[in-house]
Amino acid sequence: MTRPILYDYFRSSAAYRVRIALNLKQVDYESREVDLRTGEQRSDDYRALNPMGFVPMLEIDGQKLVQSLAIVNYLDLRYPNQPLIPAMKSDRAHVVALCLTVACDIHPLNNLRVLNYLKTELGHSQEEVDRWYAHWIGEGFPALEAMAAPQAGKFLYGDAPTVADVCLIPQMYNARRFDVPLNDYPTLLRAEENANKLEGFARAHPDRVEESQ
């Protein structure tokens, strides 16, 4: 069987999500770096594979899958061990809501192309960009904390990791990179602490990935 191929960048939050999911599912895969720092994602060669010009992309089962949450959903169906999305309708809706709070409400405002546009096209300083980043974390994380707290355990939902944690951990990593204070989010911090104890999360960490590329 052909190993899946993940087109990856070590600091991409979206690619980080897929690495976590692949690791938790114990999928043996090949990682191919697409260097966002040099604009490789916009190259003709990469756009021939993925017209969107984004990472991640996963080649698996003869398909080219894009969009991190679509990939995670595929992996959850393809590899039913350690499910990341609950089967019960109400549980599923809650977990997906947590996930989308990160993936749709927080992350798109703070991804690399937006931050670069603020600097290169609109002329904002790095200090202003950092304030932008902290502002949108400050808008999203209080809501995520309040949503998660009532049903959280070791993780954002109960005592096993779900797709909500798969989305949370990359966002926490990047919040720390931008020195965003996190002490007001004990539920998020507890989930982060427990996630980082698991090899599936630890092996997906950008520092580990950068060392291996």
- The domain spans of the chain are 5-82+201-212, 89-198
Kindly compute the dihedral angle of the four CA atoms of residues 91, 97, 100, 105, in this order, to the nearest 10 degrees. Answer: -160
pLDDT at 37 over 90: no
- What is the pLDDT at residue 69? 97
The domain 89-198: what is its CATH number? 1.20.1050.10
Is residue 17 within 8 Å of residue 72, measured between CB atoms? Answer: yes
Query: What's the rounded mean pLDDT across residues 9-15?
Result: 94
The three-state secondary structure class of 21 is helix
Global pTM reads 0.94
For the chain, the average pLDDT equals: 94
How is domain 5-82+201-212 classified at the CATH fold level? Glutaredoxin (3.40.30)
3-state SS of the chain: helix, strand, coil percent to 5? Answer: 60, 10, 35
Q: What is the largest CA-CA distance in the chain?
A: 50
Distance (Å, whole) CA 156 – CA 95: 8
Q: How would you classify the pairing of strands 57-60 and 63-66?
A: antiparallel
**What digits encode the pLDDT tens for the residues 111-156?**
888 998 999 999 999 999 999 999 999 999 999 999 999 999 999 9
CA distances in angstroms from 113 to 18, 65, 120, 198, listed in the order given: 19, 21, 10, 30
Is the Cβ–Cβ distance between 188 and 182 less than 8 Å? yes
**In the predicted model, what is the mean pLDDT of residues 160-174?**
98
What letter represents residue 15's amino acid? A
Burial class of residue 126 in the structure, from the number of CB atoms within 10 Å of its CB (0-12 exposed, 13-18 middle, 19+ buried): exposed
